[in-house]
Amino acid sequence: MRYFIRFSYCGTDFHGSQMQAEGVPTVQAEMEKALFTLFRIRVPVSFAGRTDTGVHAIEMYAHISSPIPLPYSSLADKLNALMSDAVHVSDVFPVPESLHARFSALSRTYKYYITTTADPFRRKGVTVVPRGLDFDAMNRAARLLLGRHDFASFCKTEHDSKTTMCTVMHAKWEVSYPAKPKNQYAHVPKDGECTAVFTIKANRFLRNMVRAVVGTLFDVGRGKITIEQFQEIIDAQQRTAAGASAPAEGLYLVSIEYPPFTLDHVHKRRSPFRHLRRRVRKFFRWRLPRAMRMTRYWIRENIFRLPPLHAHGPAADAPCSAPDAGYVAPRSAAIDPDS
């Protein structure tokens, strides 16, 4: 059976989500280590995607396969007890065998958070940028990403993807400005001080694609490149044409969509113990009654038909006061008709 694991993690303490060399802390290594502790065998885990070092995930999926049913209702709590606090499993549930965590996903959504005010408590969860970004120009450039395009300009040169074509369904910056404080002693926000989030949704993403897109949009917001030049970068299909990648601490994987499915055939799946159940049923229905009949026949033929004990000793010729009414001569004994 196949099970999906829904979990989240803070990528600050990990060198990415996928397994790397031995000893390198990754999310996959942390989860497979916990599964090995539970089942005492290596359980391969397939993630829905790959995130870089320092990238976070609010909702990530992975799947595992097992030849026997697992107690999935309590598996999430057991994994949380064995893994670090940077990873939290929210749910484990069965899915059809045909559903794959990576290849069955319909879309993925990323969010990139930025702020113009440095905050020591959020320094590892948001990217600090200088004030003065032109978000209107950045949104006009982001609209050029919509549709199906070749995003080779925003992909690392070393990648294992067969194609660099992606379909972007949504790409937009949303800006929020702080309200003026009512208290005169409170901090007064400066001009251009804001918090923004960039949301992008696509059917698939290339390696380092979101960070490269955000970094190039930063150049648009700073006025280094125009919107026409941004279109030329998309058409160039060369990584050197785009801007530098944005820092990883502000990037979050927020959701993954899968096709709807039903678990009717999963619940109707034949049990691996069906052969044993059939043999036990056959034993109690046919073999055990037959053995009991044969046992009763053997007892009747070999115990109740034996001669009494006094007929096989020195006192066999002694007169008997009363005949043994319960004695039945065995079949092998010869009967004298004149007696």
Q: Is the pTM of this model over 0.85?
A: no
Nearest residue to 34 via CA among 97, 94, 76:
76
Kindly give, in sequence order, each residue whose CB lies less than 8 Å from that of residue 35, ignoring residues fewer than 6 positions away: 42, 43, 45, 64, 79
- CA-wise closest residue to 138 among 196, 84, 202, 79: 196
- pLDDT for res 185: 56
List of the chain residues with pLDDT < 70: 159, 180-192, 262-275, 277-278, 304-339
Spell out the residues 6+ positions from residue 138 whose beta carbon is closer than 8 angstroms to its own. Answer: 173, 217, 218, 220, 221
Compute how many other C-beta atoms are within 10 angstroms of the C-beta atom of residue 185. Answer: 6
Q: Report the C-alpha gap between 27 and 46 in whole angstroms.
A: 11
Beta pairing partners, 111:
199, 252
- Partner residues linked to 149 by β-bridges: 166
Give the pLDDT confidence of 258-289 residue by residue, as tens digits. Answer: 998 765 544 444 455 656 766 777 777 777 78
Predicted confidence (pLDDT) per residue in 90-120, tens digit: 999 999 988 999 999 999 999 999 998 888 8
Question: Where are the alpha helices (H) located in 248-306, listed in sequence order?
Answer: 264-267, 274-282, 288-302
Give the DSSP letter of residue 125: T
Q: Would you call 297 exposed, middle or buried from its count of C-beta atoms within 10 A (0-12, 13-18, 19+)? A: exposed
- Listed in sequence order, the residues at least 6 apart from 299 whose beta carbon sits closer than 8 Å to its beta carbon are none
* Active-site residue, 52 included: yes
Q: Exposed/middle/buried for 269, CB within 10 Å: 0-12, 13-18, 19+?
A: middle
d(CA 338, CA 62): 95
Which residue out of 13, 52, 160, 264 is catalytically annotated? 52
